[in-house]
Amino acid sequence: MVMTMTSREFNQRVSAAKTAALYGPVVVTDRGHPEHVLLTYDAYLGLMGGAATLAGAFAALPDTGDVDVDFRRSPELPRSAVFD
């Protein structure tokens, strides 16, 4: 079950929004447009495939193979610091 609240309602009834999130996503609207979704942490982990960290989220992505990147050092660096 998805519940919708305006941002004003959300600000006034945070506890009710958290309780509603136990039963499904809570969509928070701003000027009639969906802006945010409140989920329980367990629901969030389910969406992330169980990845609780950003590194885990990237690890859960499909393998794209190796990517060669050539980082060239700027000839202007390093420079001496000048203190006036």
Q: Residue 72, Cβ neighbours under 10 Å: how many?
A: 5
Domain extents for the chain? 3-53
CATH class of 3-53: alpha beta
Q: What is the pTM of this model?
A: 0.59
Q: For 27-77, write each residue's pLDDT tens digit.
A: 999 999 999 999 998 888 888 777 667 777 667 667 767 777 777 777 776
Q: For 5-23, write each residue's pLDDT tens digit.
A: 999 999 999 999 999 999 9
Cis peptide before 25 (omega within 30 of 0): no
